[in-house]
Amino acid sequence: MFMRLLQVEVDTEGLHLLQNLYDERVLTALKDVRGCRFAGLMQSIHDPETCLSLTLWERQEDASEYERSGLFAQLLEEAKIFLSGSLEYTIKLSENLQVEYVPVRTDPVVKSFPIAAQSETEQKGDDARRAVWLRIVSLKILPGKMELFKKLYREHSIPALRSAPGCRYVYLLESEEKRDEVFSVTIWDSKERAAEYEQSGVFERLLKIQKDTLSDLAKWRTESGVQDGPKSVSTDDVLVEHYTVLTGKSFT
């Protein structure tokens, strides 16, 4: 299994139009693409202008073939009118040695992840729309501890999440760019169900089970019980992101 995340910046005033396009064009097109099992459009709770298109694939080769076919570029071109014109600025010296701020248009970011472990509650077709909340936890793993972490995740995290009311999908993703980073992705029936899970203490208990595989700061936070505060403390922290699922469909 393979997961592909496309991150875009969206003009929130036209978000409903992007959602309509995703429903009518993207989901319809991906339904017939070999190897595509699920597609969904998500909006960040922390940053409402950031959206993710999440797709699940049977094989990495299927996702790569989709990109090479030209269909991905065509769908992205159709969506560009709804994306924000947000610009990043770089600083350079002009020919007369004056400082200039040069706008650089931001492009969509694509990230792909092999799935190291997974569990799914059976759901097909339009029933996938019942999954309305996405939770992503990123963790840094100590050198040499990745296999142990994955073993603990399969033995403890997956059973705990399977028994959590409202949890429909569980995926553990391995970063291809950073060998010491993993992502736990869960998809829920509702925001309230995900909140109940977080407030139950199960998440903290699982982190304590895995603490000997986590980075030093992550271990300190699990041992001290500190989980609140700023969204980002350092690159070694345990980060939790939330997205609301605007639309989605399973093709299996």
- Each residue's pLDDT tens digit, 149-191: 999 999 999 999 999 999 988 999 987 777 788 999 998 999 8
What 3-state class would DSSP assign to 66?
A: helix
Q: Which residue has the higher pLDDT, 243 or 90?
A: 243
Question: Does any domain span residue 97?
Answer: no
Question: Does any domain span residue 92?
Answer: no
Range of the domain at 206: 2-82+107-250
Residue 25's pLDDT is: 95
Angstrom distance (rounded) from CA 42 to CA 8: 10
Q: Could you give the residue ranges of the DSSP H alpha helices within 89-240?
A: 146-152, 158-162, 191-199, 202-209, 216-224
| Domain count for the chain | 1
Per-residue DSSP letter, 115: E
Question: Does any domain span residue 124?
Answer: yes
Question: Does any domain span residue 118?
Answer: yes
State pTM to two decimals: 0.75
Residue written as tokens 């999954």?
A: 131
pLDDT at 201 over 80: yes
Question: Does any domain span residue 53?
Answer: yes
CATH number at residue 235: 3.30.70.100
> Which secondary structure element, helix H or strand E, spans residue 179, and what is its range?
none
Per-residue DSSP letter, 22: I
pLDDT at 21 over 70: yes
pLDDT at 20 over 90: yes
Compute the average pLDDT of residues 92-97: 52
Angstrom distance (rounded) from CA 43 to CA 54: 11
Residue 103's pLDDT is: 46
